[in-house]
Amino acid sequence: MHKFSFTGVLLTLLSGVLLAVSGATAAQGNTGQDGVKVGEMSIFRKLAPSGALENQAAQQYLQTMQQAQQQHALAPASHKQVIRLRAIAAKLVPYALRWNPRAKEWKWQVNLIGSKQINAYCMPGGKIAFYTGILDTLKLTDDEVAIVMGHEIAHALREHGAERAGKSMAANLGVRALELVAGVKGYDPSVAGAVGGGIVKMGMLKFSRDDETEADVVGLDIAARAGYDPRAGVALWQKMGLASKGAPPQWLSTHPAGQDRIAEIRRHLPEVMPLYAQAKGVDIKSIMPYRSNVSTIAAVN
């Protein structure tokens, strides 16, 4: 009975911490009348000053590029894939600014690193990097590159890095409070902290998956406005699924499962396809299905 009460105290207190964190990220408004609808950015991002994170990101990005250059892995500006990536970014960025006024002040950069990693990212402040592995392994079309880039840009625009840092600070304070309460109640604070930390970790994984979903949705909006077919997102994640067999189950990953992402993308296509049609200057009814460059992937309506 004593053990049951101890567990009850832990679950009650930690549930309160997690509910407080998740409740602060609830949708509070929309960015506009057309396109996708998401809530206001999390208040937790304010616990980690954006300017400081952007400066830190700029330094880290510079170091990464310098290291890549020393290893002869940084593609030159004349590289055809660098030219391609920067051209796509130039089309996306103007439509990214509506999501975060600070982005107008960012010094955007796009670089390509020679590596087999299937990866790309956009750091706070608009510092974008692609790895040759994601381009070569997945054989990305321009539309698919735009979906990836839009997703990564969305992370920076929505300040997910600052949000995660803020949530982590709040959760750690919750665990500390839990240890103090456990001590007052006569329980072992170290055990309470260990159990509480595990519960918080699982909760934070869910929050990270929510960020990934939001980045997918916002990225679709940006890509569509720039004239890239948002249905390419379906083909992209089908390709990713073929390349990432053996990935951890969704509940142990910071990224939603591929099929879940595809379902979410399809759910938002009615919101973004009109933007794509408008960008292309055509009637939406005249748009043909999206066809990727892999024969085993079916056309996407």
Looking at the annotation, which residues are catalytic? 152
250 and 202 in contact (C-beta within 8 Å)? no
CA distance 115 to 65: 13
Q: What is the DSSP letter of 244?
A: -
CA distance 39 to 113: 34
186: left (phi over 0), alpha (psi -120 to 50) or beta: left
Own/partner pairs for 210-215, CB < 8 Å, 24+ apart? 210/25, 211/155, 211/158, 211/160, 211/163, 211/164, 212/254, 212/255, 212/256, 212/261, 213/256, 213/261, 213/264, 214/38, 214/154, 214/158, 214/160, 215/151, 215/152, 215/154, 215/155, 215/158, 215/160
205 and 254 in contact (C-beta within 8 Å)? yes
Q: Which residues contact 72 (CB under 8 A, 6 or more apart)?
A: 114
Closest CA to 21 of 45, 44, 48, 39: 44
